[in-house]
Amino acid sequence: MLLCGGVTAIARSGAIVGVEARPVRVEAHVANGLPGMHIVGLPEASVRESQARVKAAMANTGYSFPQRRTIVNLAPADLRKGGTGFDLAIAVALVAANTGEDLPSLRRWSLVGELGLDGRIRSVAGALPQAIGARLAGLEGIVLAQDDARAAAAIEGIRVVAASRLDDVVEFLRGGRNLPDAVAPALAEAASDTGVDLADVRGQGPARRALEVAAAGGHATLLVGPPGGGKTMLARRLPTILPPMSFEERIEASVIWSVGHPAAIRRGLLGARPFRAPHHTASDVGLVGGGSPPRPGEVSLAHAGVLFLDELPEFRRSALEALRQPLEDGFVSLVRASGRVVFQSRVTLVAAMNPCPCGMAGSPGERCGCTQEATRRYRSRVSGPLLDRIDLHIGVPAVPVRDLGGATAEPSANVRRRVEAARERQRMRLCGVRFLGRAIESNAEIPTHLLDSHCAIGPAARRRLDAAAEAGSISARSWERIRKVARTVADLAGAEEIGPEHVDEAVAYRWMDRTAGREA
């Protein structure tokens, strides 16, 4: 494009904002004047440093860096740009502007990649959202590094090609060379490949049953028991009884990982459900996301999988309170001066804690030295509102050593079949139901205003639930969650209506509340 006293070339790229890619026009203008390159349009340091990388890459691939006054504008100018993914688009635009050459395809392709000094194209974070952003922008396709293109090829409706060097991309845009279309790997079904199985857990029949209910309905679970009782062992086996990820879940989870941990998806979309177990020293930002630029936290990296919080009372109070929104709504909303960022976080939460500071309260043969006040203070580190958002409170007592050598327990595969059948009943019942802009797929997600239509309860079961409420101080939220759990228990039993026996089991899953004297 000829302008007054110079030549301008325009390439396309994208800026990652949260887990979305916003379209960016890379405008390179070369004109007479003192040699020098200026990058404008709110570039961060990593973008400003691209000048050195681009200059060396162009020299090592046979292209001359402009020896005139050069301005690179990243539009829109009010959107902050970070990362190294603009290198490729800047370099190609400079080649076109410096030679005055019209590259026919330049404006129809998004160019994303970091340049090495030798001209090689390297991987960047956010390849999947970049492909989605290019599709939404109506572009013909996107050029990515070979490692990034493999996963991005799973995005439908956009052509994804893999490139290894800068000169390959320039020749491709000139029409003189073809670049291979990336091929997504086969989406074989994958459960958990960690080598663990629910059959490893001996004893703990009630806790195993509760884990099955949690998997069937997507219910948050709190395991309470002494050290060595098997709380962590149980939690790590929850992914093995969850249904395989759907294609949509793989895309959603992989997009988040593409930004947070891009190396994990270089070989393709996530196959197994994520299992995240952050240490209790995790910060608020580490747990729910944030920073500058905002990045997903552990609760979002666990999207479509399991978030395990061991030693729950040891987490920072502010970090736990920040979990209340994602547990309730299924997403994290971060509001900054530059705008709002949303990270999906539909997780199955499993938390674990001791019954008292020493952990021995209620254990047969063990003496607890904790005072009642010390136990109260310990449990109060987890707020009531957060506990209300956890559907199942399960006691996990120590297993006698003599029981550890008993018969082999039921394997994960058998339990998973029952869970899948219960989930299928929920999908049929909740088909077409949406809340907060997303489809409802499990009983745990049913909003309050739909309880009567999707968690209908008969007169006998209602009397049993009312009796439980009169015996304690069940909050309105706990009352609603008991109904959802009862619906899941009924689904596992193949029952159309919630019966008294289903309510009884749901009420029994309130161990913490009973021991605290709050609920029946």
Does a structural domain hold residue 269?
yes
Which of 174, 208, 233 delimits the end of a domain? 174
Mean pLDDT of the region 294-298: 93
Same-domain status, 156 and 227: no
Rounded to an integer, what is the distance from CA 194 to the centroid of its chain? 19
**Which residue range is the domain that position 83 belongs to?**
2-174
- Same domain for 216 and 146, yes or no, is no
**Least confident interval from 77-86, 266-275, 432-441:** 432-441
Q: What is the mean pLDDT of residues 340-360?
A: 92
CATH number at residue 396: 3.40.50.300
Structure tokens at 443: 């009983």
Same domain, 113 and 203: no
User: Is 188 a domain residue?
Assistant: no
pLDDT beyond 80 at 520? no
Mean of pLDDT values over 339-366: 87
pLDDT at 366: 67
The answer to whether residues 49 and 134 belong to one domain is yes
Gap between the Cα atoms of 267 and 264, Å rounded:
8
pLDDT score recorded for residue 317: 94
Looking at residue 104, its pLDDT comes to 81
Note whether 150 and 211 are same-domain residues.
Answer: no
Mean pLDDT score, 96-114: 91
Residue 481 within a domain: yes
Is 241 found in the same domain as 170? no
Tokens 């093995």 correspond to 240
| pLDDT tens-digit series, residues 406-447 | 667 889 999 999 999 999 999 999 998 888 778 888 999 998
Task: Indicate the average pLDDT of the chain.
Answer: 89
Torsion sign, CA atoms 252, 255, 260, 262: positive
SS3 content of the chain, % helix, strand, coil (to 5): 40, 20, 40
53: confidence class by pLDDT, cuts 50, 70, 90: very high
Residue, of 201 and 167, whose pLDDT is higher: 167
Angle at 345 between CA 413 and CA 112, to 5 degrees: 105
**Full DSSP string of 470-486:** HHS---HHHHHHHHHHH
| Two tokens, residue 93 | 């635009």
pLDDT value, residue 5: 58
Task: Mark whether 67 and 109 lie in a shared domain.
Answer: yes
Q: What is the pLDDT of residue 185?
A: 78
Which pLDDT value is given to residue 397? Answer: 86
Q: Identify whether 191 is part of a domain.
A: no
pLDDT over 90 (residue 323): yes
- Assess whether 291 and 429 both reside in one domain: yes
Give the CATH number for residue 127. Answer: 3.30.230.10
Same domain, 479 and 359: yes
Residue 468's pLDDT is 78
- pLDDT value at position 19? 93
Per-residue confidence (pLDDT) for residue 518, from 0 to 100: 39
Average of per-residue pLDDT across 263-270: 87
- Cα–Cα distance for residue pair 370/229, rounded to 1 Å: 19
The pLDDT of 63-69, averaged and rounded, is 92
Q: What integer is the mean pLDDT of 291-310?
A: 93
Same-domain status, 266 and 163? no
212-240 average pLDDT score: 94
In a domain, 81, yes or no: yes
Residue 334 has pLDDT above 70, yes or no: yes
Question: How many structural domains are present in the chain?
Answer: 2
DSSP character for 120? B
Which tokens in the block code for residue 470? Answer: 């009169």
* Start-to-end C-alpha separation, the chain: 76
Q: Residue 34 above 90 pLDDT?
A: no
One DSSP character per residue, 338-370 reads TEEEEEE---EEEEEE-SSSSS-TT-TT-----
Would you call 163 helix, strand, or coil by DSSP?
strand
Nearest to 182 by CA among 257, 228, 123: 123
Q: What is the predicted pLDDT for the residue at 189?
A: 47
Let me know whether 117 and 239 are in one domain. no
What confidence score (pLDDT) does residue 101 get? Answer: 84
Q: Are 137 and 264 found together in one domain?
A: no
- State residue 450 phi and psi, 5-degree precision: -110, 5
Indicate whether 223 belongs to any domain.
yes
- pLDDT bin (cut points 50, 70, 90) of residue 517 is very low
The mean pLDDT of 367-375, rounded to a whole number, is 87
In a domain, 285, yes or no: yes
CB burial string 262-294: b at 16+ within 10 A, e below: beebbebbbbbbbbbbbeeebebbbbbbbeebb
Short-list 389, 518, 506, CA closest to 445 = 389
Is 210 a domain residue?
Answer: yes
Give the β-pairing of 6-17 and 20-31. antiparallel
pTM confidence score: 0.90
Contacts 24+ apart (CB under 8 A), 19-23: 19/126, 19/129, 19/255, 19/256, 19/258, 19/259, 19/296, 19/343, 19/344, 20/129, 20/132, 20/133, 21/126, 21/129, 21/130, 21/132, 21/133, 21/134, 22/79, 22/133, 23/110, 23/133, 23/134, 23/137
Residue 456 has pLDDT above 50, yes or no: yes
Q: Indicate if the pLDDT at residue 186 is higher than 80.
A: no
**Per-residue pLDDT reduced to its tens digit, 461-503:** 888 888 877 776 566 677 888 999 999 999 999 999 999 999 9
pLDDT of residue 192: 44
Residues 187-210 have pLDDT tens digits of: 654 444 567 899 888 888 899 999
